[in-house]
Amino acid sequence: MNISLKYFEKTIIITLVMLMVLIVLLATLELGYIIVKDIITPPIALLDINELLDIFGFFLLVLIGVELLETIKAYVIEHVVHVEVVVEVAIIAIARKVIILDVKEYHPLQLLGIAAIIAALSGAHYMIKVMHRNKSLSDG
């Protein structure tokens, strides 16, 4: 039973990695297409603010995919999910949300919620860094 469960887990992880690689590749190609299309559309080589925000949002989306790949890779190698990578993915995701955010479309409480998420993730990131620094000092 244990061997079949490990085989199943390995199959799922390999499938996830292949799918994530495919998605990141397609998203990167799509980003390249969007950039080229926006640059060659009149006025040539000039991007308006909405195009820039779309490009930045898409860029961060690709970066999230790369970070998720890093998380899966770390799990495959070490069989551990690294909390700092998960927090970094969340920070990138919320940064993407803030970059493409149209403040007029949100209720003030929703904006306060986003601010609370940013504060919580920042605090978690800081605590992780402090823990790593203290661990390095105690090990060395």
CA separation for the pair 75, 87 (Å, rounded): 15
- Rounded to the nearest 10 degrees, the angle between the axes of helix 83-99 and helix 49-78 is 170
Is the pTM higher than 0.85? The answer reads no
Q: What is the pLDDT of residue 100?
A: 83
Q: What is the pLDDT of residue 134?
A: 87
- pLDDT tens for the chain, 140 residues long, are 688 988 998 899 889 999 999 999 999 999 999 999 988 888 887 888 888 888 888 898 899 999 888 888 888 888 888 888 889 889 989 988 888 888 889 999 999 999 999 999 999 999 999 998 888 888 76
98: tokens are 């803030």
Q: Residue holding tokens 């390999």?
A: 14
Closest listed residue to residue 60, CA positions, set 101, 19, 31: 31
Q: What is the pLDDT of residue 22?
A: 96
115: tokens are 């601010």
3-state secondary structure of 16: helix
What residue ranges do the domains of the chain occupy? Answer: 2-139
Quick check: 57 and 99 in contact, CB under 8 A?
yes
CA separation for the pair 20, 62 (Å, rounded): 11
Q: What is the pLDDT of residue 140?
A: 62
Q: What is the pLDDT of residue 77?
A: 84
Q: What is the pLDDT of residue 19?
A: 94
